[in-house]
Amino acid sequence: MNKFLKLSVCVFILAGVCWACDEKEDPQLPYLSVAKDAQTQVFSAEGGSVEVLVNANVDFTAVPSAGAETWLTATKGNKIADGVVLTITAKANTSEEGQTGKIILSASGLKSIEINVTQAGVHYPLALSSFEPATGGHSAEITLTGENFGDVKDAVKVYFNDKRAEITEITNTRITALVPKGPGEQCDISVVVGGDSLAYSQKFAYQYTPYVYTVASGGDYILPSGIAVDENDNIVFVKRYEGNQGIYRMDQNNSNAITLLSNDTGGGPLGIIYDQQTGKFYVNIYSDTENLILTIDSKDQWRVEKNTVTITNAVIEGGKKWGLALHKSSGKLYTRYLSGDIVRIDPSSWQGESIATVTTQGNATESWALAFRANNPNQLWFVICQSSEMAYLDISNPGSGATWLNTTAERGYLDGTFAEAIFNEARFMCSDAAGKLYLPDQGNHAIRMITDTGVETFAGGNDWGDPSDPTCDGPAKSAKFGAPEGLCIAPDGTFYVGDTWAHRIRKIVFE
């Protein structure tokens, strides 16, 4: 027999008024009470019995509440010194649903007492069958099948590794959920129902999808052309339009732009790159008269210095140059001048050497898009701005000349093989760690990607990105840009876009 549940506080009624006391009931007065902690009883689905001590010196009844008579009973036992032992019995529950009822104690002239009874439903073991699709990205819909999920969303949890998924629909044999953000490339999908937890035997392949977010927007000062970011998330961008040319550094936490150099740049600031080895940013200056490159030293209080480039083996008028590329293993800078000269520049001495002359196939001349491929670090790639001409030069053997992949002077918008692809003003280019090249296609409001086999759209390519349009951000393929010029990949792999005429700085992350 279970231990009797003793009464710690008793309640008795006299003349219609209730008093509480710590003493035992006055045997001369009528009383009926049950200890507070005995007034709630919980049974498993298997049912069973429990004994409750009822403190009473009067005759009383104990009956189930309406609707509970089929599964709940109460039986009075013999009277003992402290009262009466009441046995509450719950029959086995064969339903998956739990049930509730009451045992009501009543005595003439006294307030009734209710004992609340809850019984769990039958628990059937969780079983998992399959899920589809087997691969997907953030917010993709996935269907899980199995048995005994129940039909209450709040009672079930679905995890992709340690990331919880949102459940949108559920039945006892089917769950529809949304894939959470960034759980890892290979995922174990597990389902938790109550105390049961099971994982599917097959893995889910998570596809990281590029998403576009706005870092800063608004104001004439945010009119970024070239852009670069260091390992501390400092954004440095150049502004070359609307009279107030300059170089700015931005704190991503509060979007405040700090002026590093204003107007007195010596010409039009264009391409900018960051050298993680030295902590310096290099800014290419386009000028009819001076051959300048600026350095910005992040390790020396962001000091800006003008440097005159002296080309030792060629006569090149002024500093008519656009893009700038860093050869990481040597620390040398490379650029292409209006004359077609590919010049290698040593930042330690600012001596330059023309290593090749690359003449375009048509009349276009400007080389904004200029970058080394990470997987072939001696290949210097470039796309001509006012056409769709594309080529690369092997700097380890520059005498062999450029390899032309596209020679069309046409401008427009077309993805395809190297020979098929068409651009509309290719701007500053960069390489990811795998060797894919990315560049803003300004006239098409897009970010294009150059792979081993051709060109495809990486982000945008849709309508003009009005800064007031909240749909401009989102999945890269549906995002909108406003004639972007700047692009870089930060040391942590995040893409940053100088979204020029949308007056915004954007970032692209894989989630």
Cβ atoms 272, 237 nearer than 8 A: yes
pLDDT at residue number 207: 95
Mean pLDDT for 79-99 is 90
Burial (CB count within 10 angstroms: exposed 0-12, middle 13-18, buried 19+), residue 253: exposed
Place of tokens 């391409």: 271
- Rounded distance between C-alpha atoms, residue 30 and residue 111, angstroms: 11
More confident residue, 132 or 222: 132
Cβ atoms 17, 59 nearer than 8 A: no
More confident residue, 152 or 273: 273
Judged against a pLDDT cut of 70, whether residue 470 lies above it is answered with no
- Which residues contact residue 494 at a Cβ distance below 8 angstroms, ignoring those fewer than 6 apart? 229, 507, 508, 509
For the chain, the residue count is 511
Backbone φ and ψ of 202, nearest 5°: -85, 155
Backbone φ and ψ of 454, nearest 5°: 170, -155
Average pLDDT, the chain: 89
- Rounded distance between C-alpha atoms, residue 436 and residue 59, angstroms: 89
Determine the residue type at 241: Y
- Rounded distance between C-alpha atoms, residue 257 and residue 43, angstroms: 66
Determine the residue type at 383: V
pLDDT at residue number 5: 35
- Rounded distance between C-alpha atoms, residue 497 and residue 215, angstroms: 10
Measured in whole angstroms, how far is the alpha carbon of residue 57 from the centre of its chain? 68
Judged against a pLDDT cut of 90, whether residue 96 lies above it is answered with no
Burial (CB count within 10 angstroms: exposed 0-12, middle 13-18, buried 19+), residue 98: middle
Distances (CA, A) of 5 to 33, 34, 41, 488, 501: 12, 8, 12, 73, 78
**Max mean pLDDT range (13-17, 189-193, 315-319, 468-472):** 189-193
pLDDT at residue number 121: 85
Judged against a pLDDT cut of 80, whether residue 25 lies above it is answered with no
Mean pLDDT for 253-258 is 75
Question: How sure is the predictor about 220, in pLDDT bands with cuts at 50, 70 and 90?
Answer: low
DSSP bridge pairs for 106: 61
What structural domains and CATH numbers belong to the chain?
10-119 (2.60.40.10), 127-206 (2.60.40.10), 210-510 (2.120.10.30)
State the pairing for strand pair 351-357/310-311: parallel
Which range among 71-80, 216-225, 353-362, 487-496 shows the weakest confidence by mean pLDDT? Answer: 216-225
Judged against a pLDDT cut of 60, whether residue 194 lies above it is answered with yes
Judged against a pLDDT cut of 80, whether residue 471 lies above it is answered with no
Judged against a pLDDT cut of 50, whether residue 13 lies above it is answered with no
What is the pTM (predicted TM-score) of this model? 0.73
- Which residues contact residue 356 at a Cβ distance below 8 angstroms, ignoring those fewer than 6 apart? 341, 342, 393, 398, 399, 401, 402
pLDDT at residue number 415: 97
Question: How sure is the predictor about 363, in pLDDT bands with cuts at 50, 70 and 90?
Answer: confident
Question: How sure is the predictor about 202, in pLDDT bands with cuts at 50, 70 and 90?
Answer: very high
pLDDT at residue number 195: 82
Judged against a pLDDT cut of 90, whether residue 361 lies above it is answered with no
Q: What is the pLDDT of residues 222-249, one digit of tens each?
A: 888 999 999 999 999 998 876 668 899 9
For residue 443, give the DSSP letter: G
Question: How sure is the predictor about 338, in pLDDT bands with cuts at 50, 70 and 90?
Answer: very high
Backbone φ and ψ of 194, nearest 5°: 60, -125
Question: How sure is the predictor about 467, in pLDDT bands with cuts at 50, 70 and 90?
Answer: low
Tokens of 138: 């953030």
Sign of CA dihedral 237, 238, 241, 244: positive
3-class secondary structure, 404: strand
Mean pLDDT for 116-122 is 91
- Rounded distance between C-alpha atoms, residue 46 and residue 49, angstroms: 10
Backbone φ and ψ of 442, nearest 5°: -60, -45
Judged against a pLDDT cut of 50, whether residue 41 lies above it is answered with yes
Which range among 109-123, 157-171, 321-335, 412-426 shows the weakest confidence by mean pLDDT? Answer: 109-123
Angular region, 265: left φ>0, alpha ψ -120 to 50, beta rest: alpha
Question: How sure is the predictor about 465, in pLDDT bands with cuts at 50, 70 and 90?
Answer: low
What are the CB-based long-range contacts (under 8 Å, 24+) for 335-340? Answer: 335/271, 335/284, 335/367, 335/370, 336/367, 336/370, 336/382, 338/365, 338/366, 340/365
Mean pLDDT for 448-477 is 86
Beta-strand ranges (E) seen in 263-298 are 268-275, 280-286, 292-297
